Structure 1
């Protein structure tokens, strides 16, 4: 791929993926997993997304609120409530609930019960807007298309984890788990990290569901959900595949030299999404000790898919694709090829490597059936 002079300058300023903090070269998959990857997780937690103060709560139960056939018997719909209790220091009574809706293909009648791979999607308000008895299947979440392709699919409500508003981190799981007797630290978790925490709690449930193959669960998100899916996938290695759809700034796109939305703009518009430390890098992206290709690289050697839309200049498809290319060395350590040598593709011509994929489609910022068609095609035979 021929880079312009400006792109070459950006690439030279990007932190080196395979050089540890003490300056040593990382040249094996073992060193990557045991040394460099943990370093990068720490750097992203400290400087970008913030640290989750708790993993799985000590008290958490799963309540199946409903289970019924749907789509003329082709699938089964389950509604699950994930109940949990905070540490008692929060302001909201110490209890939380995350709603999860799961669809799985109907029983095939085979002697041995089939467990299905599944896609877990983070929802921002669309599920809540569906009236009781209505199908939530939409271009954003085409449940029937996913089921007919041989996958289950689940969605959780982001507002149950943390409402997308800046109230001083008193609502949602921040109110349950943050200590309220002192100011927040600069690396305290923001809302993106809180949503990622919720995706891991959904994964906790999926590990228990007899219809789901928990070793083959993909986490997928669009826009802010795509940022969340990437951070969740970096933190939680139980996710076998991570899909970022048009996640842009502080998602899949390289921050240095990025067009469209920049770090200072996202921190100004959404001051609650990231750690306060991240604001140090407003208009100073070149001083970040990390860049987003390192986030993508932390998915290696698992499946990774990045998608863009041609009219989504705010996300900057070229920077999203460059990030995926620059993540390839982590995959090569595992003996896997990537897309570093492939030029930026034409519209609606997906690129597939062994564990990485990418497409840019015609149209605007959204997640639709075209995106799902390309993602499902990549997952076929891999997930």
Structure 2
């Protein structure tokens, strides 16, 4: 009986995540989307109009970055945290000989406290020389991304999951990581469980990387204090730091892919770290790719109430107050220019507002045009399974809130286009 209720609970959580639940205050009716005006990303705080890429980089881009640091994700600390790397295992014939698999223990410390994370890295064997790489977090531990018995359990899981949790089952989320297809296309994959960096519960902040920084005070937050999304974004950059040590990795061809809450973090990481040459958001929704002013699907009031530990406290001032937002997510996406941006949606994922995700990517056009790059052509979203592959790309597929082989194939098509011109 206990297992039955546990399965029922997981089912309800799944329905919630897929946007299928009927929740008070959530709009799924396009006719009820309010009239709104988006801020022009090229108009400065003092009213000046940006007309060149140089002006964007020196004047307007820092202004927008400051907006999102102070009002949405919090300020990323500039202090350095010591990290050491230990090679736990190396299998040169992993995945039936297709790949070299490395498992690397990251030990983050401030001298008094240490937090550990494990990176799982697959490098294709059939490619000579350096290879491009996808960086991305997994949700249930490295051991759930594959059936290979040698993969270590991610250390952060113990804070979040009990002994009966499906996370302890190998391959439980193998469907989201088509390693065989990725490797055959010549890409490496570097993944880590996001719980290793910030265990995804509000009460577990003391066990996150944030707790290692000098100004950290348990139970106390400033209005612009960084929270989970900011910490996860920081952690993605630390993965890139390690990859610089790997001679097989082409550091000029790094893509970051994030799904759902990790799509939000991937966008924020890409906005801050120019080493990510392709930034991919999959079903990232509110606080990610979707426009907040549409108030469609998950909204600011819902996300800052139920998942307050994802954003800095200042973001909650716009709960139910989206019309007064002086910014929107298209401006955050524009921070990725002139690097390449890809946004992916799912037809059945109304919770994440597919149309709002598309429009957000579309309204980056003015910034990409400064670099003579091509964004999305029309404010009308494409049909299902009709991907757009410009400097800014987009697709919407059939199905629900998930990462599928179809998504990965399009991500690789987009990277092929820009990594191998």
Instruction: State the TM-score, normalized to the length of structure 1.
Output: 0.91
Other-structure match for 2:83: 60
- Please report how far the alpha carbon of residue 340 of structure 1 lies from its aligned counterpart in structure 2 after TM superposition: 3.7
- Please report how far the alpha carbon of residue 171 of structure 1 lies from its aligned counterpart in structure 2 after TM superposition: 2.1
Match of 2:274 among 237, 249, 254: 237
Pairs within 5 Å for 1:162-201: 162-167=198-203, 169-177=205-213, 178-180=215-217, 183-201=220-238
Match of 1:97 among 116, 122, 126: 116
Matched, 1:36 2:60: yes
Q: Distance in 1 between matches of 2:288 and 2:219?
A: 30
- Please report how far the alpha carbon of residue 173 of structure 1 lies from its aligned counterpart in structure 2 after TM superposition: 1.2
Q: Distance in 1 between matches of 2:359 and 2:182?
A: 29
In structure 2, stretches of 5+ residues that fail to align are 1-29, 152-169
Other-structure match for 2:16: none
Matched, 1:326 2:326: no
Q: Distance in 1 between matches of 2:385 and 2:126?
A: 35
Match of 1:284 among 301, 321, 328: 321
Pairs within 5 Å for 1:199-218: 199-218=236-255
Matched, 1:106 2:125: yes
- Please report how far the alpha carbon of residue 14 of structure 1 lies from its aligned counterpart in structure 2 after TM superposition: 1.3
Other-structure match for 2:4: none
- SS of match in other structure, 2:35: helix
Matched, 1:117 2:144: no
Contact 1:56 1:201 in 2 (8 A): no
Matched, 1:265 2:288: no
Q: Distance in 2 between matches of 1:55 and 1:366?
A: 35
- SS of match in other structure, 1:381: helix
- Please report how far the alpha carbon of residue 124 of structure 1 lies from its aligned counterpart in structure 2 after TM superposition: 1.5
Q: After superposition, what is the alpha-carbon deviation per residue over 1:300-334, rounded to whole angstroms, capped at 9, x for unaligned?
A: 01011000000000001000000011011110000
Other-structure match for 2:373: 336
Q: After superposition, what is the alpha-carbon deviation per residue over 1:196-249, rounded to whole angstroms, capped at 9, x for unaligned?
A: 111011010011111111111101110001000000000111111100000000
Cα 1:304–1:181 change in 2 (3 A) is: closer
Q: Distance in 2 between matches of 1:128 and 1:264?
A: 35
Contact 1:326 1:340 in 2 (8 A): no
- SS of match in other structure, 1:184: coil
Q: Distance in 2 between matches of 1:107 and 1:370?
A: 23
Contact 1:97 1:160 in 2 (8 A): yes
Contact 2:199 2:205 in 1 (8 A): no
Normalized per residue, which structure has more helix? Answer: 2
- Please report how far the alpha carbon of residue 7 of structure 1 lies from its aligned counterpart in structure 2 after TM superposition: 7.5
Other-structure match for 1:295: 332
- SS of match in other structure, 2:47: coil
Cα 1:14–1:232 change in 2 (3 A) is: same
Number of residues paired by the alignment? 367
Q: Distance in 1 between matches of 2:193 and 2:141?
A: 8
**Bigger mean CA offset, 77-86 vs 329-338:** 77-86
Matched, 1:23 2:23: no
Contact 2:359 2:379 in 1 (8 A): no
- Please report how far the alpha carbon of residue 34 of structure 1 lies from its aligned counterpart in structure 2 after TM superposition: 1.5
Q: Distance in 1 between matches of 2:79 and 2:174?
A: 32
Q: Distance in 2 between matches of 1:308 and 1:155?
A: 22
Match of 2:392 among 343, 349, 356: 356
Matched, 1:221 2:258: yes
Q: Distance in 2 between matches of 1:322 and 1:297?
A: 12
Contact 1:55 1:197 in 2 (8 A): no
Cα RMSD of the aligned pairs, angstroms, is 2.1
Cα 1:55–1:142 change in 2 (3 A) is: farther
**Bigger mean CA offset, 170-179 vs 72-81:** 170-179
Cα 1:26–1:7 change in 2 (3 A) is: farther
- Please report how far the alpha carbon of residue 74 of structure 1 lies from its aligned counterpart in structure 2 after TM superposition: 1.8
Contact 1:258 1:319 in 2 (8 A): no
- SS of match in other structure, 2:352: coil
Other-structure match for 1:308: 345
